[in-house]
Structure 1
Amino acid sequence: MAKRARATFDEIISVGRKPAGSFVMSTDPNTTIVYGRAGYDWVLIDREHGVMDELAMRGHLLAAEATGLVPIVRVLHNSPPLIQQALDAGAQGIMVPKVASAEDAARAVAATRYQPGGRGMCPVVAPAGFTSDGWADYAGDMNSNAILMPLIETRAGVDNIDAICAVDGVDYIFFGLADLSQDMGIDMLEDADALIAMWEQVVTAAHRHGVRAGAPLGYGFDGLADFGSLASDLTMLRTAADQVLARWQKG
């Protein structure tokens, strides 16, 4: 099975469009099918804040494959075994929380690569077709196309953004405004100007190194963002539920 994450993102961006995705926190893979049918480009399968176990993750990955979405998994922390597990299950990209240094980034990159000291080799996984036939082509395709996406969501990550983006294998980053606002002790909405200024610092450094930068859309980051996310499945459900109830109550 071809790993298409980087190729897909690059193709969409090359024609002047921002790949649009959403965070998926529900364990029901039908959520991912909805996004695929609606025409989204990617989903972030969230194993950090949701209640997603390995089986639920696998369901979302199969749903993404069936509907043409690029599935990216956010792991709980910067752990090579967790990164390897997600890739072996079929993830095409990995988002790593709280990357704060070049060392953090390099460790995560190595966990995504078939190389000495990197990801463990095993052909008995779904993305490889459960066979070692064509292994060299498969491993090379994985190394070329899987996206490692550091999540910049701490003040240290912002301060060290140049060094993080200089790490070989970091070609995409994501700006996490919620945890960053908490790390700085400011309000995510009321202090939006401070966060936008930090975003501009991050995206300028990223682009200087040829790295593409993504962010949650709708918070003032859209103009400079190369790609972005539109809320999350459960947030969208809550918003729709509120709207339907409000319309009914008004009669």
Structure 2
Amino acid sequence: MSLRLTPTFRDALAAQPGRGAAARPLAGIWVCSGSPLVAEICAGSGLDWMLIDMEHSPNGLESVLGQLQAVAAYPMTPVVRVPTNDVVTIMQVLDLGAQNLLVPMVSSAEEARAAVEAARYPPRGRRGVGSALARSARWNRVDGYLTDADAHVSLFVQIETTEGVDAAAEIAAVDGVDGVFVGPSDLSASMGLLGQQSHPEVVAAVGRAFEAVRAAGKPVGVNAFDPAVARSYMDAGASFVLVGADVALLARSSEALAATFVPAADESARTSY
């Protein structure tokens, strides 16, 4: 039996709706709940892609596996953000069957090369070989997986510091880096503007990273949950944008229900646990 894997996020970006400069940016949702059921609900939303987060969410290998399985039947591309730029962690997540990775806190070309090496088999990298045992190759049911593994995996790195912005051109130029994602939250903290993702200096730094990555010929993305900010980044050249998160949508929507149906006096008397 021979099986085929789905196209990667790199392929999805290359096939963006529209042509050239008119291509529509791909809109995605951050999936942080750790729930396969919630991930599946999001997968049927009509958005283009989702980020399953292992860095700031209660996600381990088992829950990521469950979410990848839950969304596999839907036309949405899942990307997994690993918690750290670690060769063992990257190997394990790839062996789960994740085809698209985002590696956080990459601030230099050297760190970007380390991520690429972790995602590639020898002699080009350091990924451990276990395809016969793993979902990545569907237990050796994908013909030629070992020799064609690079075609089945896309790798994106995340710039989240001032050092990363300064090195954005060099990071984007690393062979094997398929795109760069800019994180305004940690970037604002790195700039001494904690919690001020929309501060003009932070927005300007994001713009500088955009220019450097695009000049290197790579797609660039960002997260922006404010629709106006998201559209401004799309207009500035972002090819993929996270426009919301499952937990944030649930939090704000449940608050809106409370504001509508719970008297203010009762609401203010509640204790937070």
Question: Same fold, TM exceeding 0.5?
Answer: yes
| Partner residue of 1:19 out of 15, 26, 45 | 26
Letter in 2 for 1:165: A
- For residues 10 and 144 of structure 1, what CA distance do their matches in structure 2 show? 14
Map 1:80-229; keep pairs closer than 5 Å. 80-116=87-123, 117-123=125-131, 124-131=133-140, 134=143, 136=144, 138-189=145-196, 192-217=199-224, 218=226, 219=229, 220-223=232-235, 224-229=237-242
| Residue-by-residue CA offset, 1:126-177 (whole Å, 9 max, x unaligned) | 131212662x2x2354302422111100111011111111100112110101
Letter in 1 for 2:100: G
- Aligned in 2, Cα 1:146/1:13: closer, same or farther, shift over 3 Å? farther
Q: Is the 8 A contact 1:78 1:97 kept in 2?
A: yes
Structure 2 residue 251 is the aligned partner of structure 1 residue 247: no
- Aligned in 2, Cα 1:187/1:129: closer, same or farther, shift over 3 Å? closer
Overall identity of the aligned pairs, in %: 32
User: Could you tell me which residue of structure 2 aligns to residue 62 of structure 1?
Assistant: 69
| Residue-by-residue CA offset, 1:228-249 (whole Å, 9 max, x unaligned) | 1022110110011111221224
Letter in 2 for 1:211: K
- Aligned in 2, Cα 1:215/1:121: closer, same or farther, shift over 3 Å? same
Which secondary structure does the structure 2 equivalent of 1:66 belong to?
coil
Q: Is the 8 A contact 2:54 2:80 kept in 1?
A: yes
- For residues 160 and 239 of structure 1, what CA distance do their matches in structure 2 show? 36
TM-score by length of 1: 0.92
| Partner residue of 1:29 out of 13, 33, 36 | 36
- For residues 245 and 3 of structure 1, what CA distance do their matches in structure 2 show? 42
Letter in 1 for 2:136: P
- For residues 43 and 197 of structure 2, what CA distance do their matches in structure 1 show? 34
Q: Is the 8 A contact 1:2 1:141 kept in 2?
A: no
Which secondary structure does the structure 2 equivalent of 1:210 belong to?
coil
Which secondary structure does the structure 2 equivalent of 1:72 belong to?
strand
Structure 2 residue 16 is the aligned partner of structure 1 residue 8: no
- For residues 133 and 176 of structure 1, what CA distance do their matches in structure 2 show? 35
User: Could you tell me which residue of structure 2 aligns to residue 72 of structure 1?
Assistant: 79
- For residues 133 and 226 of structure 1, what CA distance do their matches in structure 2 show? 30
RMSD (CA atoms): 2.0
Aligned-residue offset at 1:88: 0.8
| Residue-by-residue CA offset, 1:37-67 (whole Å, 9 max, x unaligned) | 1112211111111111111110111112122
Structure with higher Rg: it is 2
TM-score by length of 2: 0.85
Which secondary structure does the structure 2 equivalent of 1:67 belong to?
coil
Unaligned runs of 5+ in 1: none
Letter in 2 for 1:221: Y
Q: Is the 8 A contact 2:27 2:47 kept in 1?
A: yes
